[in-house]
Amino acid sequence: MSISFPQQASASLQGVLNAMADLHLPSRALVDGVEVEAQSGETIANLSSRDGHQINTLPALGVADVDIAVRSARAAFEDGRWRNLSPKARKKVLHKLADLMEVHAENLALLESLDTGKPIANTRSVDVPLAINTTRYYAEALDKIYGEVAPSPQDRLSYVLHEPLGVIAAIVPWNFPLHMAMWKVAPALAMGNSLVLKPAELSSMSALYTAQLALEAGLPAGVWNVVTGLGVVAGDALARHMDVDLIAFTGSGPVGRSLMRASADSNLKRVSLELGGKSPQIVFADCDDLDTAATNAAWGVFYNQGQVCTAASRLLIENSIKDVFLEKVAKVARSIKVGDPFDPATQFGAMVSERQMQTTLNYIAKGKADGGKLLVGGGQARATSGGFYVEPSILDIARDNILAREEVFGPVLSVMAFEDEADAYRLANDTIYGLAAGVWTANISKAMRAAKQLNAGLVWVNGWDACDITSPFGGVKQSGFGRDRSLHALYKYADLKSISISYKA
């Protein structure tokens, strides 16, 4: 497959290109309310996924720079410039931030697409609106967190408070840069914490832009700092810092393990991890809408070019309908419009980097070498402009194939058949991960059994990714621990304090 970038752009594409040309590109870290370079002067080249060209450079902050950012956050926390504000005042600032994000939504969408290769249609309709919604949700939620009064003797009053932890270090991934950032930033701020955000080196611009909007909204300087740089340097420095109270991380398993070791080697800071997945979709023969199930099976793994932690990368089909259903899924896959991320008509854009593209292609090759039968795609989608594109790919595999075990984080769907209900659950749970799982059936009893039997933090019945900010997000087993989203996320950024007052009755 080849992707042609026509010399004569459509009016809608030309409009995006014109807006990109006029867009201000954030290129400095934000510490204590001031834009800064790395003290060393070192930078990172920020490359475009769309065409491989350099976008700009970003500061590669080092250990000393990170220490300054943490000290800024600590000072802001200790003097109470944010945490001591009334809930009403904090709510007003967070709502103002959401208002400004709406005003600047188009710029944020452009930055997300430019940084990651996502289709502009998706960043406009999904990524940025969800980040705004998250900010508003926690603005409204922050004054709904109540303490407790404990049963006490007549001469004592005992009560429990939720107090902010202190300095939060949030390390977020490149696949949903702003969306994932606000899953952590918004509840951490809502609870009165200060924080240092470390965005992925591949996708820092939308976070830098939004943090500047937060200052405009009235968030005091030092409360939200953004440090750019390499994970092995800036991220590790945060993980080992003696004055960070919690690391909130979304990313890979190996990095999650390194953060836990760093916590143990430093101040035993708390660690919340949302890691990888190898999520199954189970399709039973009694599913009464195979067309809808097929669409969800395809887009469950191909959305965002497969770069989703909950990607439905394993499709488990009851043997009696395998051939019929698989052809429906393949038809959807072949219809997906792969193209220029800046074209509003594009459904499927570029991989985030050349490295991620090559990793995906290597996994496809290994899957074929393990006996997998390639049904759709399987190669690099070559663009006349350069860039990093992989075709939506489907392979029919055996249960011991590498694609049944390892997370690809790319647009690769692995298909396996099962015999009966027990076999389906056994196959679905046969993984080190436990993030998400789905089941398609018209039988309510079977659906209830599946919800109980599937070992995952998220289970969806007759729908994929069928949830929102009101439901907790996180996994079990080696998919990590801790939860983003919902009111539960607020408690992650707070500590319990028990207070007892004795008096003369």
Distances (CA, A) of 326 to 92, 295, 319, 383, 409: 51, 11, 11, 28, 21
Structure tokens at 248: 């909130």
What is the per-residue DSSP string for 416-437?
Answer: EEESSHHHHHHHHT-SSEESEE
**DSSP bridge partners of 414:** 314, 395
CB crowding 351-387: b at 16 or more within 10 Å, else e: bbbeebbeebbebbeebbebebeebbbbebbebeebb
Structure tokens at 128: 């940025």
**DSSP bridge partners of 273:** 249, 481
User: Which residue in the list 309, 318, 391, 421 is annotated as catalytic?
Assistant: 309
**Packed helices 105-116 and 128-141: angle between N→C axes, nearest 10 degrees:** 120
The dihedrals phi and psi of 429, each to the nearest 5 degrees, come to -85, -5
- How many whole angstroms separate alpha carbon 346 and alpha carbon 267? 47
| 54-59 and 43-47 beta bridge pairing | antiparallel
> Residue 503, Cα to own-chain centre: how many angstroms?
50
DSSP secondary structure letter of residue 444: H
467 given a catalytic annotation: no
DSSP secondary structure letter of residue 67: H
Query: Is residue 189 within 8 Å of 21, Cβ to Cβ?
Result: no
Cβ within 8 Å of residue 185, ≥6 positions away: 170, 195, 197, 224
- How many whole angstroms separate alpha carbon 493 and alpha carbon 481? 14
The total of other beta-carbon atoms located within 10 Å of residue 468's CB is: 13
Q: Which amino acid is at 266?
A: S
Rg, the chain, Cα only: 24
User: Which residue in the list 37, 274, 391, 421 is annotated as catalytic?
Assistant: 274
Which contiguous run of DSSP H or E holds residue 269? none
- How many whole angstroms separate alpha carbon 377 and alpha carbon 152? 67
Cβ within 8 Å of residue 297, ≥6 positions away: 281, 283, 312, 315, 325, 329, 332, 413, 464
Catalytic site residues?
274, 309
